[in-house]
Amino acid sequence: MNGQFDYRKCAILYVDDEEKSLKMFSQAFGAEFRILTAPSAAEGFQVLEQRHEEIGLLMSDQRMPGEKGVRFLERTRQAYPHIIRVLATAYADVDAAIDAVNTGAIYKYVTKPWEIVDLQQTLRRGLEFFLVQQERDQLLRERLTALHQMMIADRVIGLGIMAAGLSHHIRNSLVAVRTFLDLAPSKLQQERVNMDQLQSPAYWRGFYDQVQAQLRRITGMLSDLGMASHQPLSPLEDCVRLQEVAVQAVEQAREALETNGIEAVIELPADLPALRGDETKLRRLFELLIKDELVSLPAGSRLAIRGRALPAARGQQEAVLLEVEDNGPGLSPEAVRSVFDPFFTRVDNPQELGISLMACYFIVHHHGGSIEVKSAEGKGTTFLINLPLNPNAQAPALSEQDFVGKALLNNELWERLLAGK
C-alpha cells in the first residue's frame, strides 16, 4: 500500500517538552516524513495556527507542564478536525489514552518509550488515513461544485434561450413603436393640435425623450442577451490580451464614470498571458460589468480590475483569474445567490434588472470559464472570473462512470484503513 502514498505531501507535528525526545523523533523519521516540532502545547498550537493547511498528523506527549496531551489534542480536534491525532503516553497513563480513543479525541495512542519500527507504521497508517480522507473530501467538493454550477447553468441558459427566441419578435414590434414616435412630433405639428388643451410642448418633448430612452434601454438589453447567449459554432481563435480590452472598456465608459463620481483603475500585470477567445465578447464582458457598477455604486466609490495567471492544477489547464472589485454598499446573502438571475433587482434601484450580469455569465460560460460573486453588506462586491487560456482544449468533465469508479476505489482504501489492514 505504501507505494500509493506520498508521505511528504503533508507534515507531521510532534509536541513534547523534552528537547532530547524532539531531536530523536526528527532524526528517526525525518528521512521519510516532513517533521515539525514544538516544545509545549502552547507553541504547538501556534504552529498549527500558522501551518495547519500543510499538517496531516499531530503527535503529542501526554505528560507536559501546563496543558496535558489529551486536552491539547481535544482542543486541536475542535479547531482542526481533519488532522489525525496521536498520543504518546507512558504505561501509567494508558487509561487516559484509551478514554481519549473512545471519545474520538485521538486516532491512536503509542506508549513510551516507543519502538521506531512500530511508530513508523503508526505514522504511515495515520498519514494514509489523512490522505485518503483528504482525497475523498476533495472528490465530493468537486462533484458538489460541478452539480451547483450545472444547476445554475441550466437555469441561466434556459432563460437565455427563451430570451433570445423572444428577442427577434419583440424587436420587430419595437420598430413599429419607434417609427410612430419618430413621426409623432411632425404629425402633431401638421394637424395643428392645440397644445394648450393637452399639455405644454415642453411636457410632450420630455415625454417623447423619456419613451425613446426606454426603447433604447430595452433594445440594448435584448442585444446583450442575443449576443451573449449565442453559442459559438467554431473554435475561439482570437488572441486576446485582457489588459487591452479592459482599457478600451474603461475608456468607453470614462465620461459616465466621471459623471457618477466613480474612480476606475486597472491593475492587470503587463505579463498577464493572452488567451484564446472572442475579443468582441470579452470586451463586452468588461463593459457590462462596468455598466452594472455604474448603477450600483454611489459617488466617491472606487472600482478596481485586477488579474493574475493561474498555473495548471489538478484537472484544470492554465487560466487567468480576474477580480472586479468595488468598495460600494455590497449585497445581501439573498442577493448574492440571485445576482445572475435576469429578474434580479436591486433594492436601491428596482428599475435595473439583472440582464447585464446574466449576459456576463453567458460570455464566461462560452469561454469555458466560471464567474462567481463575493459580497457582504457594507463591504463591497467582488466578481471572480476564471478564464482558461485555451477553452478549445478544455479537458472533458469526469464522467458518471469514472466518478463512481474513483469513489469506490477511494472508499475501498478508506475501509481497509479503518480495519487496520
Concatenating the DSSP letter of every residue in 20-52 gives HHHHHHHHHHTTTSEEEEESSHHHHHHHHHHHG
Cis peptide before 113 (omega within 30 of 0): yes
Handedness of CA 184, 189, 193, 199 (dihedral sign): positive
- The H-or-E segment that residue 11 falls in is strand 11-15
130 in a structural domain: no
Quote the CA–CA distance of 366 and 230 in Å, as a whole number: 9
Q: Is 332 in the same domain as 209? A: yes
417 in a structural domain: no
The per-residue pLDDT for 243 is: 94
Name the nearest CA neighbour of 280 among 301, 313, 324, 249: 249
273 in a structural domain: yes
Crossing angle of the two packed helices 19-29 and 116-190, in degrees rounded to 10: 80
The per-residue pLDDT for 58 is: 94
Cell of 128: 494514509
Q: Is 56 in the same domain as 177? A: no
Q: Is 102 in the same domain as 147? A: no
420 in a structural domain: no
Q: Is 181 in the same domain as 81? A: no
Name the nearest CA neighbour of 166 among 79, 226, 230, 251: 226
The per-residue pLDDT for 332 is: 85
170 in a structural domain: yes
368 in a structural domain: yes
Quote the CA–CA distance of 332 and 346 in Å, as a whole number: 10
Name the nearest CA neighbour of 10 among 133, 179, 176: 133
Q: Is 147 in the same domain as 110? A: no
DSSP output for 61-88: ES--SSS-HHHHHHHHHHH-TTSEEEEE
Name the nearest CA neighbour of 109 among 73, 64, 65, 55: 73
Q: Is 197 in the same domain as 339? A: yes
Sheet-wide strand order for 370-375: 263-267, 302-310, 319-326, 381-388, 370-375
Total number of domains in the chain: 2
The per-residue pLDDT for 380 is: 92
Q: Is 82 in the same domain as 154? A: no
Q: Is 148 in the same domain as 110? A: no
The per-residue pLDDT for 1 is: 46
In this structure, the number of other CB atoms found within 10 A of the CB of residue 357 comes to: 22
The per-residue pLDDT for 415 is: 47
Q: Is 69 in the same domain as 158? A: no
- Domain, as residue range, for 31: 2-114
Q: Which of 114, 134, 161 is the last residue of a domain?
A: 114
Those residues of the chain that have pLDDT short of 70 are 1-3, 91-94, 96-97, 99-105, 140-208, 211, 214-215, 217-234, 314-315, 341-355, 394-421
Q: Is 153 in the same domain as 220? A: yes
Q: Report the CATH number at residue 363.
A: 3.30.565.10
138 in a structural domain: no
Are 66 and 22 in contact by the 8 Å Cβ rule? The answer is no
The per-residue pLDDT for 196 is: 47
Coil/strand/helix, residue 289? helix
The per-residue pLDDT for 406 is: 47
**Environment class of residue 57 by beta-carbon count within 10 Å: exposed (0-12), middle (13-18) or buried (19+)?**
buried
Q: Report the CATH number at residue 57.
A: 3.40.50.2300
Q: Is 340 in the same domain as 248? A: yes
18 in a structural domain: yes
The per-residue pLDDT for 219 is: 65
Cell of 409: 476505489
Q: Is 59 in the same domain as 147? A: no
